[in-house]
Structure 1
C-alpha cells in the first residue's frame, strides 16, 4: 500500500513538473525528504517478507526434489521387482509348457496303444463271432431235433399203435447220428419221457424254451408285448407264458430266434427287447398270401436280465398269425 502511495505521489509530482517546470521538481524533493523514513521502513519490511517467502520456496523446492529422488528410487526398485517377476513367470510358463507337452506325448502313446489293443480285440471278436455263428447254426438244428423228438415222445406217452411205434423207432434210428452232437450240447437229456428229460435238464442247468401264440393276435398296439402262450419247451422254467418275458437265471451267451407271420397286404414290425431296450428288429409285409420274417441274435445276459418281443408298429388292421409265429431261446454257453 505504501508503494502505491509513493508511486501516486511521484506520478503527481511528475505531472506537476511537466506542467509547472522546476517548481514541481522542488516540491517533489521536499515531499520525499519529509517522508523518506516511512518509505524506507516499508520497503525494508517488504524486502524481508520477500526473502522469507523465497526461503520457504527454497525449502519447498528442496522437499520436492527429495521426493522426486525418492520416487525415482522406488520406480527403479519396482522396475527391478517387475522384471524379476516376469522372469520367474517366464520360467514357470516354460516349465508348464514342458509338462503339458510331455503329458500330450504320453496321452498320444496311450491312445495309440489303446487303438492297437482295440484293433486286436476287434479282430478276436470277429473271429469269435464267426465261431458263434457256426455254433448257433448247429445249436438251432439240435433244438429243432429236440422239439421233434419231444413231440414223438409225447405221442408215445399218450399211446400209439404198434405200427406207429415201429415207424417212430425206425425214424429214431435215422436220427441217432444227428442227435450225437446234440447230446454234447445238451448233456443227459433222456429219451424216456418229456418230463424226465426236463427234470434232468434243470439239474444240469440247461436253459431252453420255445413257444407260439395261443391264437391270432388282432391289431396289437404299438409297444405291446407279444405273448407266446403255447409253450412247447421250457427247460429251466425261465419263460413266462403269462407275461411273455424270458428271465435269465444264469450269466452267459444266449441265442434268441423269433418269427412273425402276417396275412393280406399288411405290414408289422416287431423288436427283440432286453431290459426295455430294443436290440433287434424285423418287419414283415404281407401280400395276397401269408408272409413270415425271422431274426436271430446272440445276446450276453446276466442273472435277472429280461428279454421279450414287442410290437414296434404296424398298418391298420394287421394281425399276427399264430401258425407261423414263434419265439425260441436257449443258453449257448
Structure 2
C-alpha cells in the first residue's frame, strides 16, 4: 500500500494540503445536506476536483468549498477553537487528503498546523487521529469514488513555526522572526537555531485579519448608508482585501481610499504589536518571514515591508501571490524530513514491484 506524506493547514478562509506531487486548496465552507440533495448535486458533477467536492462519510453527506457556497450561499465559514473530534474539521481534512492521491486506499503520514492558542492541544490532536482508519466517498455523476485512509502518524506544528522549513537549509539556523496573519490571531514566534526563544506559554499574539475586516466593513456601511447596505460577509471582504475585487452586490465599488486607509491602519497595528511585545529581541533578528492570505495584497505587503526596512534594514520574506500557501508548504517540508524513511520504503517497494 502506498504511503502518502502530506502537510495540511486548515484555517478560517481555506484548507490547503500538499505533497511533493500535488497541492489542493479548498474554501472553508462545509454544509451537511440530505441524501436527496446530495444525489441531485452528484448528477451535475462531471469531474472530481477541489471545485466539486461532495462527500459521503458515516452515512452523512457533506458539500464543501466552492460547490457549497455556490449552492448554499448562506453557509458560514467555521472556525472551531477545539478542533479535536469536531466532525466538520474531520470532513475538511478528509476532503483534502483524499484529493492528494489517486489511490483508493493509502497510508497517511500527516503534519498539521495549529495556531499558538491551541499549543496545548497538540498531543490530544495527534492521539485523536493517529492509528485511525477512515472510509469515505466522493460523489459524482459516474458513481461513488471510494477512499480509505489509514493515518499512521500525525505531527502538529505551530503555524508560525512551519514557514521556517520553506527557507534554504543554511538559513534555517539563523535568528528568525515568523509572523502568521490568520483570521482571528496574529501569531508571533521568535526562533534561533531551530529552537523557540520564548517559552511556549509566553508566545504572544494579536488580532488577525478580523480587525481589518471589521474596520473595512464599518467604513463600507458608512459609505453606502444611502443604499441601506448594512451587511458584508467575511468572504466578500476577503475578496476585496486579497484579490482586489471591488464588486459587491453586483455593483463596482469606489473604495480605493477607504481600502488604503484600512490597510495602512492594520499594517501599523501589526508593526507596533510586534515592536511592543518583542522589542528587546528585534536587533538580533536575521530574517522576518510572514505568512497569510492578506499578504497577497501588494499594497499591504509594501506598506508593511517598508516599515520593517526603515526600522531594521531587513526586508520581509513573503511568497509572491502564494502567501497563504506558506504554512502548508512548511508542513510538507517538515513531514518530508520526519518521514523520509517512509518515502524511501515506497520507492524500494516500487522498484521491487517493477522487477
TM-score by length of 1: 0.21
Judging by fraction of residues, say which structure has more strand: 2
Judging by fraction of residues, say which structure has more helix: 1
Structure with the bigger RCO (C-alpha within 8 Å, sep 6+) is 2
Larger Rg: 1
